[in-house]
Amino acid sequence: MNRNADGSLRASSSNAALLRAAVALAPSGVEVTLYDGLGDLPHFNPDRDGETAPAAVKDWRVRLQASDGVVFSVPEYAHSLPGVLKDALDWVVGSGEFMDKPVALFNASPRGTYAQASLTETLTAMMAKVVPEAPIALQLMGTPLNADRIAADPEMWESRQKYIPATIRGMVTGIEHTAIASPDPHRLAGWYVEHLDFAINYRSSNSQTVFVKAADGSMLEIIESNTADRQALDMKAPGLRHLAIAVSDFDVVYQRLMSKSVSFLTEPEKKGGNSLVFFTDLDGNILHLLQREKPLP
Ligand SMILES: Cc1cc2nc3c(=O)[nH]c(=O)nc-3n(C[C@H](O)[C@H](O)[C@H](O)COP(=O)(O)O)c2cc1C
Interstrand relation of 274-280 and 286-291 (parallel, antiparallel or unpaired): antiparallel
List the residue whose alpha carbon is closest to atom 22 of ligand 1.
Answer: 75
Ligand 1 atom nearest the C-alpha of 9 is 27
Query: Based on the domain organization, do 68 and 148 belong to the same domain?
Result: yes
The per-residue pLDDT for 166 is 62
The per-residue pLDDT for 207 is 96
Single residue among 171, 204, 224 that ends a domain in this structure:
171
Nearest to 97, CA basis, from 63, 74, 71, 131: 63
- CA 158 to ligand 1 center in whole angstroms: 26
Query: Based on the domain organization, do 22 and 128 belong to the same domain?
Result: yes
Query: Based on the domain organization, do 161 and 34 belong to the same domain?
Result: yes
How many domains does the chain fold into? 2
The answer for 261, left when phi > 0, alpha when psi is -120 to 50, beta otherwise, is left
Query: Based on the domain organization, do 94 and 111 belong to the same domain?
Result: yes
- Choosing from 74, 77, 113 the residue with most ligand 1 atoms within 8 A of its CB, the one to mutate for a pocket test is 77
List the residue whose alpha carbon is closest to atom 4 of ligand 1.
Answer: 77
pLDDT tens, residue order, the chain (297 aa): 455 666 677 878 888 888 888 888 777 667 889 999 999 999 999 999 988 999 999 999 999 999 988 999 999 999 999 999 999 999 999 999 999 888 888 888 888 899 999 999 999 999 998 887 656 667 766 677 777 777 777 777 666 666 665 665 555 566 889 999 999 999 999 999 999 999 999 999 999 999 999 999 999 999 999 988 988 889 998 888 999 999 988 998 999 899 999 999 999 999 989 999 999 999 999 999 999 998 887
List the residue whose alpha carbon is closest to atom 10 of ligand 1.
Answer: 112
- Tell me whether residue 253 is in a domain: yes
- For the segment 5-48, what is each residue's pLDDT rounded down to a tens digit? 666 778 788 888 888 888 887 776 678 899 999 999 999 999 99
Query: Based on the domain organization, do 122 and 269 belong to the same domain?
Result: no
pTM of the model: 0.61
The per-residue pLDDT for 232 is 84
Say which DSSP state 197 is in: -
Residues in the chain: 297
- CA 15 to ligand 1 center in whole angstroms: 10
- Tell me whether residue 85 is in a domain: yes
Query: Based on the domain organization, do 29 and 84 belong to the same domain?
Result: yes
CATH at residue 208: 3.10.180.10
- Tell me whether residue 265 is in a domain: yes
Nearest to 156, CA basis, from 136, 127, 176: 136
- Choosing from 10, 36, 71, 76 the residue with most ligand 1 atoms within 8 A of its CB, the one to mutate for a pocket test is 76
Q: Which residues line ligand 1 (CB under 6 A)?
A: 8, 10, 13-15, 75-79, 108-109, 111-112, 141
Note the Cα 256 to chain centre separation in Å: 37
CATH at residue 34: 3.40.50.360
List the residue whose alpha carbon is closest to atom 18 of ligand 1.
Answer: 75
Query: Based on the domain organization, do 8 and 151 belong to the same domain?
Result: yes
- Tell me whether residue 296 is in a domain: no
- Tell me whether residue 297 is in a domain: no
CA distance 256 to 250: 10
- CA 75 to ligand 1 center in whole angstroms: 5
- Tell me whether residue 80 is in a domain: yes
Query: Based on the domain organization, do 17 and 54 belong to the same domain?
Result: yes
- For the segment 85-113, what is each residue's pLDDT rounded down to a tens digit? 999 999 999 999 999 888 888 888 888 89
Query: Based on the domain organization, do 240 and 151 belong to the same domain?
Result: no
Ligand 1 atom nearest the C-alpha of 80 is 8
Query: Based on the domain organization, do 217 and 128 belong to the same domain?
Result: no
The per-residue pLDDT for 1 is 46
Single residue among 110, 145, 171 that ends a domain in this structure:
171
Give just the sign of the alpha carbon dihedral 101, 104, 108, 114. positive
Q: In which domain, by residue range, is 226 found?
A: 177-291
Other CB atoms within 10 A of residue 100 CB: 9
Ligand 1 atom nearest the C-alpha of 113 is 11
- CA 151 to ligand 1 center in whole angstroms: 22
Query: Based on the domain organization, do 256 and 220 belong to the same domain?
Result: yes
Ligand 1 atom nearest the C-alpha of 145 is 25
CA distance 204 to 210: 6
Say if CB 92 and CB 64 are below 8 A apart: yes
Question: Which residues are within 8 A (CB) of 83 and not within 5 positions of it... i.e. 6 or more apart?
Answer: 77
The per-residue pLDDT for 135 is 61
CA distance 139 to 136: 10
List the residue whose alpha carbon is closest to atom 27 of ligand 1.
Answer: 13
- Tell me whether residue 268 is in a domain: yes
Phi, psi of 238 (to 5 degrees): -60, 150
- CA 176 to ligand 1 center in whole angstroms: 46
Single residue among 171, 196, 225 that ends a domain in this structure:
171
Query: Based on the domain organization, do 16 and 147 belong to the same domain?
Result: yes
